């Protein structure tokens, strides 16, 4: 009986963990929304959006207007568990 309860507890624990991972990925929009005002306040940051990495995983993409190493160094590599990619996009103008 003890063993069965132990196995059940283990199973429930792993289910919870799986949910936690799912929730974390579903929240990438929220994480982006929480941080974008601060990111966009940095001079040289032009855009913040959601893109895909080479493995088709959703990532937060920060667009910068000049290829500035100092700025890149100031930007986070992860935000609340989500990978951040920094890309040079130049100045965006109405066309």
Partner 1 sequence: MVDTINAARTTLKQCSSDLLNHANVVATGVGYKVTNNKRTDTPCIICSVEKKLNALQLTSNDMIPAEIDHVVTDVVETGVIRAHQAPTERFRPAPGGISVGHKDITAGTLGCWVRKNNQWMMLSNNHVLANSNLASVGDAILQPGPHDGGSNPDDQIAVLDDFIPINLTGLPSECNIAGSITGFLNSLAGIVRSSTRLQAVTIQAEDNLVDAAIARPLNEDDVKADILNIGPIQGQSSAQLGMAIKKMGRTTGLTEGEVLQVDVTVNVQYGALQIAQFKDQIMAGAMSAGGDSGSAVLDEKDNIVGLLFAGSEQTTIINRIEHVFSALDLTL
Cβ atoms of 63 and 89 within 8 Å: the answer is yes
Residue 77: CB minimum distance to partner 1, A: 17
Binding residues among 33-92 for partner 1 as defined by CB under 8 A: 36, 38, 40-43, 46-52, 56, 58, 61, 63, 87-92
60 token code pair: 């937060």
Enumerate residues 6+ apart whose C-beta is below 8 A from 45: 39, 62, 63, 64, 65, 71, 75
Q: How far is the CB of 68 from partner 1 (least distance, A)?
A: 15
Q: What is the contact surface with partner 1 in residues (CB under 8 A)?
A: 29, 32, 36, 38, 40-43, 46-52, 56, 58, 61, 63, 87-95
């Amino acid at each position: 009986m003890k063993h069965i309860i132990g196995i059940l507890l283990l199973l429930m624990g792993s289910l919870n963990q799986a949910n936690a991972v799912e929730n974390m990925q579903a929240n990438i929009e929220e994480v982006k929304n929480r941080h974008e005002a601060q990111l966009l306040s940095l001079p040289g940051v032009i855009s913040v959006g959601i893109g895909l990495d080479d493995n088709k995983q959703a990532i937060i993409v920060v667009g910068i207007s000049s290829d500035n190493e100092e700025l890149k160094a100031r930007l986070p590599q992860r935000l609340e568990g989500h990978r951040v990619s920094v890309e040079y996009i130049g100045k965006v103008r109405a066309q």
